Amino acid sequence: MRVIRVGTRKSQLARIQTDSVVAMLKTLNPGLQFEIIAMSTTGDKILDTALSKIGEKSLFTKELEHALEKNEVDLVVHSLKDLPTVLPPGFTIGAVCKRENPYDAVVFHPKFVGKTLETLPEKSVVGTSSLRRAAQLQRKFPHLQFKSIRGNLNTRLQKLDELQEFSAIILAAAGLQRLGWQNRVGQILHPEECMYAVGQGALGVEVRAKDQDILDLVGMLHHPETLLCCIAERAFLRHLEGGCSVPVAVHTAIQDGQLYLTGGVWSLDGSESMQETMQATIHVPAQHEDGPEDDPQLVGITAQNIPRAAQLAAENLGTSLANLLLNKGAKNILDVARQLNDAH
């Protein structure tokens, strides 16, 4: 019986996410055995610095990719939003699993339960490790102050509850749901308040690009709608050359064969912003279809069983929307945000 080795980060959330992917793979392949190998990444070790300051694109992925490269593991489960839009040579995302709630959630300090961001007292401090959230929310809620908070979800909730420093913190709703902490969610932020990060709420399974057996194994986990939305989002981000160090956010929806992508960029303090929406006609397959075997990657993703035309249409939509924003002056906003972030 073959043993498939699965790499993961050590945090409780990462383990839960990995367990859910392994459970799906076991259901599809009852004859296989799986071994989970947990390891710490740079992002898990450097906890006293804001993510955007560390200046490393593969913060939560590098050590895991190293293990893949050395054949110590066969696949790695990530939050898709942690995976850069350009992967190192030799790696690919072999599965994009069905997206959970992609929105951001607000968790309040016990003394502010029942409040919303709008009704928090003047100068309340809100914790977030994301420039994207801080920029959008500062623009929307100028009476609040935003401060970096690092650590895994357990650590951040502990900091919120035990230190009197934060009135609330912003976290991804999907992570809170996966950990079973829905009861702590005081408010869900909708796109008009805060658009989400590229790939937020979806899990990505990274594999060796040439390992066809493992690609075939994990390829069955692709969720067509999520895959197409995330290809569009990742193409948008890649073309803007965004990353952790600039505020870029998206919102996608598929309705009646149309893929709608809204994307935006912000200055660090949220005072300048630019957003646009575009749509493309897309054929979402009802079930997996067999495609050509030699499909090259799109934005780091290999999906041989999803029609190529739909994937290309999604990628083209993301690139076109980025071009529209760049032509309207988004590059200047992003360049200034990058310089300011580097200088701080």
CA distance 269 to 149: 17
CATH T-level topology, domain 104-188: D-Maltodextrin-Binding Protein; domain 2 (3.40.190)
> Which stretches does DSSP call E strand in the chain?
3-9, 33-39, 75-79, 91-96, 104-108, 125-127, 145-147, 168-172, 185-189, 203-208, 248-255, 258-266, 273-281
Tell me yes or no: is domain 4-101+198-343 CATH 3.30.160.40. yes
Token couple for 28: 């599809």
pLDDT by residue (tens digit) across 227-239?
999 999 999 999 9
Catalytic residue among 19, 48, 74, 82: 82
For residue 216, indicate whether it is catalytic. Answer: no
List, for the chain, all residue ranges whose pLDDT scores fall below the cut of 50: 46-47, 51, 53-56
With the C-alpha atoms ordered 187, 188, 192, 196, is the resulting torsion angle positive or negative?
A: positive
Q: Do domains 4-101+198-343 and 104-188 have the same CATH topology?
A: no
- Say what the pLDDT of residue 315 is: 97
Domains of the chain by residue range: 4-101+198-343, 104-188
- Say what the pLDDT of residue 19 is: 97
Residue with tokens 């032509």: 327
- Say what the pLDDT of residue 53 is: 47
